[in-house]
């Protein structure tokens, strides 16, 4: 599998993102890929807030929430899904699937042996994260759900989503930051560039 890795210098001096990088290079089923995650707060904390980002975002999305969880005495863990942020990016589009990402999150939780998890999820992070309580009910105790849904059937995708996906697939270099800045007018230029 051919993989791209974003150079570390691209992440220097990001506003509001002072977190030490953590990496796993031997995640079961993903041995040739490196996954990045933020891990802040005490490992002895009673509750672990597992922050799952959507598309096209990364752990930077949770830069303002992580300190709040930590200041309250909790642990906050925020992985970058493969293809996003500081994690490796498989080149072939066929590598990316729902099961690819979902199984990576399941194996990530097991690798770190996270327990008493409060899942914090939005967008695609919810589509993945909301299935985890059924997969590992002994580990998941709470949900904080934002701007997401849980597909409950094999029904057709809405036409608006299909148009959005078609547009994205035709863009050689999708301007993600510019799109977010359109929706979030108070993002600084530096924050916009981080996306």
CATH number, domain containing residue 114: 3.40.50.1820
Give a yes or no: residue 93 inside a domain.
yes
> Based on the domain organization, do 120 and 174 belong to the same domain?
no
> Based on the domain organization, do 111 and 56 belong to the same domain?
yes
> Based on the domain organization, do 132 and 187 belong to the same domain?
no
> Based on the domain organization, do 93 and 114 belong to the same domain?
yes
What is the rounded end-to-end Cα distance, in angstroms, of the chain? 25
* Cβ count within 10 A of residue 133: 16
Give a yes or no: residue 154 inside a domain.
no
What pLDDT score was predicted for residue 138? Answer: 98
> Based on the domain organization, do 87 and 139 belong to the same domain?
yes
Give the separation between CA 62 and CA 58, rounded to whole angstroms: 8
How big, in percent rounded to 5, are the helix, strand and coil portions of the chain? 35, 20, 45
> Based on the domain organization, do 110 and 185 belong to the same domain?
no
Give a yes or no: residue 44 inside a domain.
yes
Give a yes or no: residue 11 inside a domain.
yes
> Based on the domain organization, do 171 and 113 belong to the same domain?
no
> Based on the domain organization, do 50 and 129 belong to the same domain?
yes
Sheet holding 35-40, edge to edge: 22-24, 35-40, 75-79, 48-52, 117-122, 140-146
Going from the first residue of the chain to its last (195 residues), give the mean pLDDT of each consecutive group of 10, the final group possibly shorter.
Answer: 95 94 98 98 98 94 98 99 98 91 98 99 94 97 93 77 82 75 76 81
What pLDDT score was predicted for residue 182? Answer: 66
Give a yes or no: residue 65 inside a domain.
yes
> Based on the domain organization, do 120 and 44 belong to the same domain?
yes
> Based on the domain organization, do 63 and 125 belong to the same domain?
yes
Range of the domain at 180: 159-195
Rounded to a whole number of angstroms, the CA Rg of the chain reads: 17
Tell me how many domains the chain contains.
2
The answer to whether the pTM exceeds 0.85 is: yes
> Based on the domain organization, do 26 and 119 belong to the same domain?
yes
> Based on the domain organization, do 78 and 167 belong to the same domain?
no
What pLDDT score was predicted for residue 84? Answer: 96
């Amino acid at each position: 599998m051919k993989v791209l890795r974003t150079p570390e210098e691209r992440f220097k001096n990001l506003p509001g993102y002072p977190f030490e990088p953590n990496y796993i290079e031997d995640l079961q089923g993903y041995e040739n890929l490196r996954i990045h995650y933020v891990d802040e707060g005490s490992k002895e904390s009673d509750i672990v807030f597992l922050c799952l980002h959507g598309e096209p975002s990364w752990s930077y999305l949770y830069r303002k929430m992580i300190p709040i969880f930590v200041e309250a005495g909790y642990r906050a863990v925020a992985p970058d899904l493969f293809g996003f942020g500081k994690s490796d990016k498989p080149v072939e589009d066929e590598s990316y699937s729902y099961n690819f990402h979902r199984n990576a999150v399941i194996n990530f939780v097991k690798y770190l042996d996270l327990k008493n998890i409060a899942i914090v999820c939005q967008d695609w992070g919810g589509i993945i994260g909301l299935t985890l309580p059924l997969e590992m009910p002994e580990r998941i105790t709470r949900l904080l759900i934002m701007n997401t849904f849980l597909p409950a059937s094999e029904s057709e995708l809405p036409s608006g989503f299909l148009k959005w996906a078609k547009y994205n697939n035709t863009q050689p270099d999708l301007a993600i930051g510019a799109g977010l800045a359109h929706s979030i007018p108070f993002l600084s230029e530096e924050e916009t560039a981080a996306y």
